[in-house]
Amino acid sequence: MLHPDIKEVLYSEEEIAKVTKDLGAVLTEEYKDKYPLVIGILKGAVMFMTDLSRAMDCDLELDFMDVSSYGAGMESSGDVKIIKDLDTSVEGRDVLIVEDIIDTGRTLSYLIEIFRYRKAKSIKIVTLLDKKERRAVDLQADWVGIEVPNEFVVGYGLDYIEKHRNLPYIGVLKEEVYQ
């Protein structure tokens, strides 16, 4: 049953699974001999990361990083704080950053700077969703699952004040929920 806070389902569980499987096949080819360090950005990317990594038929290492980049509102401030750092060194590694959604791009440009400084061999980005029209900095993902319209979306890892991450689909919130 549709959650009462959801106005509309944008992508069903089946659609997300298909996109993830297709990305997994492409990434398998890209990384089959590289033993990449696959870095999930907490908490939003958790669902995507677990499904995507299982769709990658190659050896890889998983790690997580938790950053906070939001000010008081719903927009990224660019003032990124590391809440949890990696357990692994990125030096000399082929790094694949796994994101749930790219919005302004500020969070990822900050992370890329950090991983460059820490001497990663290569740094690439895969994101499930991309809100391209909202970009505030020059940043592009190497692989994008779905381009999304400029609406606040939740589900499949994405939250509104920590709620709705466990919805199996991605949907748009009703305005009255956040107004």
Residue 40 in the binding site for ligand XMP (CB under 6 A): no
Q: How far is the CB of 7 from ligand XMP (least distance, A)?
A: 13
Backbone angles phi, psi at 177, to 5 degrees: -70, -35
Of positions 69, 123, 144, 145, contacts ligand XMP by CB under 6 A: 69
Please say whether the beta carbons of 171 and 6 come within 8 A. Answer: yes
The alpha carbon of residue 92 and the mean position of all alpha carbons in its chain are separated, in whole angstroms, by 23
Q: Which is nearer to ligand XMP, 60 or 154 (CB)?
A: 154
Contact 94, 112 (CB under 8 A): no
Q: Which of 94, 100, 103, 130 is catalytic?
A: 103
Q: Tell whether omega for the bond before 43 is within 30 degrees of 0, i.e. cis.
A: yes
Q: How far is the CB of 58 from ligand XMP (least distance, A)?
A: 25
Q: Which secondary structure element, helix H or strand E, spans residue 75, and what is its range? A: none
103 is catalytic: yes
CB 20 within 8 A of CB 157: no
One DSSP character per residue, 86-154 reads -SS--BT-EEEEEEEEESSSHHHHHHHHHHHHTTBSEEEEEEEEE-GGG--SS---SEEEEE--SS-EE
Kindly tell me which of 94 and 103 has the beta carbon lying closer to ligand XMP. Answer: 103
Q: Which two tokens stand for residue 4?
A: 């009462």
CB of 155 to ligand XMP, least distance (A): 8
Binding test (CB under 6 A) with ligand XMP, winner from 20, 31, 38, 106: 106
Candidates 154, 156, 167, 169: give the one binding ligand XMP (CB under 6 A): 154
- Considering the rule CB under 6 A, would residue 52 count as an interface residue with ligand XMP? no
53 lies in the binding site for ligand XMP (CB under 6 A): no
Cβ 63 to ligand XMP shortest distance, Å: 17
Task: Work out whether 47 is an interface residue with ligand XMP (CB under 6 A).
Answer: no
Residue ranges in contact with ligand XMP by CB under 6 A:
41, 44, 69, 76, 99-107, 152-154, 158-159
Catalytically annotated residues: 103
